[in-house]
Amino acid sequence: MSHEMITREIGRSGITASAIGLGTWAIGGWMWGGTDEAASVAAIQASIDEGVSLIDTAPAYGQGVAEEIVGKAIRGRREAVVLATKCGLVWHTRKGNHFFDYDGRPVHRHLGRESIVHEVEQSLRRLGTDHIDLYITHWQDPTTPVEETVAALQDLKRQGKIRAIGASNLSVAELEAYVAAGGLDAIQEEYSMVKRGIERTLLPVCLREGISVLSYSSLALGLLSGRIGPERVFSGDDLRRDNPRFSIANREKVARLMAEIAPIAAVHDATPAQIVIAWTIRQPGITFSLCGARNPDQARENARAGRIRLSDTDITTISEAATRHLIDLDA
């Protein structure tokens, strides 16, 4: 494939990034069975080599581990990267709403001004940079008015510490509140062939307001990778182990979908996973697809999905097959 990586703008920020982004939740190790730092650094560097500029991370991914690994990987290459990280999941304070415990310590959802100002400095330090390109509220905090959160983020933008503002894990009402408060460039939400709910809820607002969408889990935690067959067994703290979406019946349905995608993949000299990702970034309102990778081979495979140019006929064929086979997927 000789095509260039597809690039798109983040909202109205003037920042352009690759349509395929690298998501680093798995790199943090938390809920993914630990992390291998050297492989993770290599995965990030391979992504950049392949034209992936968008790298998405968060303090919550291993409580700083993922950010530190990203920082090491981009040292000396900061200008090649559009860096997204997050705020709002905190363990330095007990303000806000208790969300879960991590290693026996409470993590709260908190988006108060003081907390955001503290968090941004921690992230800048771990990432080894003086600015974050896209700063995203990770989870929403019902105890803090959206106006206070947005005002704090706009102050950081004026100071040059962040360049664009995003929000994640939102209801439509929360999205509308951000729009009313002014200055939202992007949202980040789960979206895939098996989870298309935002098409009816958030996407219409984003299309109306010129807000970008960073979709995550395009391969549905690997379910749509074409590599997790009905025979696969999950172990340890793998979050897929007891997930009803990974039932054997569902994996059999996905296998039938993959069989229908196979001829299109062959034409494009691509894997089924690459075709699924390429389809995802062609859906109306979906601007970026964040794909996880824990080693250079996975990183390169994901990146190359951004160079595939599916025809309108390909898109229709894939969409019809997805509707037919994935219609009754649980969870």
Torsion 99-181-202-12 (CA) sign: negative
pLDDT in tens, the chain (331 residues): 469 999 999 999 999 999 999 998 776 555 555 568 888 999 999 999 999 999 999 998 888 989 999 999 999 999 999 999 999 999 999 999 999 998 889 999 999 999 999 999 999 999 999 999 999 999 999 999 999 999 999 999 999 999 999 999 999 999 999 999 998 999 999 999 999 999 999 999 999 999 999 999 999 988 999 889 888 888 887 878 888 889 989 999 999 999 999 999 999 999 999 999 999 999 999 999 999 888 899 999 999 999 999 999 999 999 999 999 997 775 4
| CB-side neighbour CA atoms (13 Å) of 280 | 35
Active-site option among 61, 178, 191, 216? 61
CATH code 3.90.1310.10 for 15-237+281-307:
no
DSSP-assigned letters across all residues of 224-277: TSS---TT----TT-TTTT-GGG-HHHHHHHHHHHHHHHHHHHHTT--HHHHHH
Phi/psi at 225 (5° precision): -75, -15
DSSP-assigned letters across all residues of 232-244: ----TT-TTTT-G
* Residue ranges of domains in the chain: 15-237+281-307
Q: Does the annotation count 61 as an active-site position?
A: yes
Contact 120, 161 (CB under 8 A): yes
